[in-house]
């Protein structure tokens, strides 16, 4: 009963850089906590604008995640399970927003979906839809930046999943779509959930593409990161307070979900 595996000794050469890495990643967050204006925090956070920005952030990040799920899961399946010419290039293009500066993404979105954009002009004249400076615009900007996170983790899960289950389903008469829905999807559910959480967290923190494409107006397009940035212009304490809220929300979600879905252990 009490038999324990001998604890492996960690080599110093690994431990030291590991601890340094940990400090490097965690210290800025500690700084935020230390510098936080705890006394005036309730007053800072009770303003209507804060809740407006937080509510908008949560709604838009969730909507962006939903779009990412609807479009990203099939895209990941296409990349993982099919062979077609140019698949590698497509895969690189799909993951491009991961490394692209978000502001560049915002500019690109503006040039395509803006009022004078290639697609935006047509959307405007045919349907009267303009995306910049609207809440759906925020969702579009966030989805653009966040979807690759979902695609990557779902694709990884698909590659790890044994395709023989799908083949077995096919031999039993299931169509490819049925096999995907009844066999593959349950198999990769943890991967999809992990991707969704990552995408959601990324969307929640999105700044560059949002401010470039959707602009900044309280209640319509001003999400928390934008509110933090503008508060920093003349009220650093408010900016810290807002950052704390965003930090708390992100940590709660990541910690709450990590145990269930994000890792196999």
Partner 1 sequence: MPTTRIRTAAAALVALALAGGLSACGSSAKSSSAGSSSSAAAASSSGPAVKGTITVFAAASLQDAFTALGKSFEAAHPGTTVKFNFGGSSALAQSIVSGAPADVFAAASPATMKTVTDAKGAADTPTVFVRNTLEIAVANGNPKHLTSLQSLAAPGVKVALCAQQVPCGAAAVTALKLGNVNLTPVTLEQDVTSALTKVELGEVDASIVYQTDVKSANGKVAGVNFPEAAKAINDYPIADLAKAPNPDGAKAFEQYVESPAGLAVLTAAGFQLPSASSAAPSAAAS
Q: Can you give the binding site for partner 1, defined by CB under 8 A?
A: 110-111, 114-116, 132-133, 211, 214-218, 220-222, 229-234, 236
Tell me how far, at minimum, the Cβ of 1 lies from partner 1, in Å. 56
Spatial distance between the Cα atoms of 49 and 6, rounded to a whole number of angstroms? 55
Instruction: Give whichever of 81 and 121 is closer to partner 1, judged by the CB atom.
Output: 121
Tell me how far, at minimum, the Cβ of 122 lies from partner 1, in Å. 15
CA angle at 218 for the pair 212 and 221, rounded to the nearest 5°:
40
Tell me how far, at minimum, the Cβ of 230 lies from partner 1, in Å. 5
Spatial distance between the Cα atoms of 15 and 33, rounded to a whole number of angstroms? 26
How does DSSP classify residue 218? T
Tell me how far, at minimum, the Cβ of 220 lies from partner 1, in Å. 8
Tell me how far, at minimum, the Cβ of 215 lies from partner 1, in Å. 3
Instruction: Give whichever of 2 and 116 is closer to partner 1, judged by the CB atom.
Output: 116
Instruction: Give whichever of 165 and 229 is closer to partner 1, judged by the CB atom.
Output: 229
CA angle at 109 for the pair 130 and 219, rounded to the nearest 5°:
55
Instruction: Give whichever of 107 and 161 is closer to partner 1, judged by the CB atom.
Output: 107
Alpha-carbon dihedral angle through residues 147, 153, 159, 165, given to the nearest 10 degrees: -90
Instruction: Give whichever of 72 and 117 is closer to partner 1, judged by the CB atom.
Output: 117
Query: Comparing C-alpha atoms, which of 147, 112, 108, 114 is closest to residue 129?
Result: 114
Tell me how far, at minimum, the Cβ of 245 lies from partner 1, in Å. 19
Query: Which tokens go with 37?
Result: 């204006």
Instruction: Give whichever of 110 and 154 is closer to partner 1, judged by the CB atom.
Output: 110
Alpha-carbon dihedral angle through residues 168, 173, 176, 177, given to the nearest 10 degrees: -120
Spatial distance between the Cα atoms of 157 and 187, rounded to a whole number of angstroms? 9
- Map residue 6 onto helix, strand or coil: coil
């Amino acid at each position: 009963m009490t038999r324990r595996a001998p604890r492996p000794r960690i080599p110093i050469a690994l431990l030291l850089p590991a601890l340094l890495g940990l400090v490097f990643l965690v210290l800025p967050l500690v700084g935020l906590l230390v510098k936080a204006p705890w006394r005036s925090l309730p007053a800072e956070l009770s303003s209507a604008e804060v809740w407006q920005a937080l509510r908008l952030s949560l709604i838009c990040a969730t909507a962006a995640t939903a779009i990412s799920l609807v479009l990203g899961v099939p895209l990941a399946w296409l990349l993982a399970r099919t062979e077609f010419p140019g698949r590698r290039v497509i895969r690189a293009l799909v993951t491009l927003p991961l490394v692209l500066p978000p502001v560049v993404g915002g500019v690109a979105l503006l040039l395509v979906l803006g009022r004078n954009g290639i697609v935006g002009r047509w959307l405007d004249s045919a349907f009267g839809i303009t995306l910049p400076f609207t809440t759906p615009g925020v969702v579009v900007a966030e989805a653009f930046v966040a979807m690759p996170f979902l695609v990557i983790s779902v694709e990884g899960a698909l590659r790890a999943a044994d395709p023989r289950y799908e083949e077995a389903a096919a031999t039993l008469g299931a169509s490819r779509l049925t096999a995907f829905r009844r066999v593959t999807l349950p198999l990769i559910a943890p991967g999809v959930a992990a991707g969704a959480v990552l995408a959601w967290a990324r969307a929640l923190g999105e700044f560059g593409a949002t401010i470039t494409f959707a602009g900044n107006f309280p209640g319509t397009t001003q999400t928390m990161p934008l509110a933090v940035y503008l508060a920093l212009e003349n009220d650093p304490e408010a900016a810290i307070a807002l950052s704390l809220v965003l930090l708390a929300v992100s940590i709660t979600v990541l910690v709450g979900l990590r145990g269930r879905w994000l890792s196999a252990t």
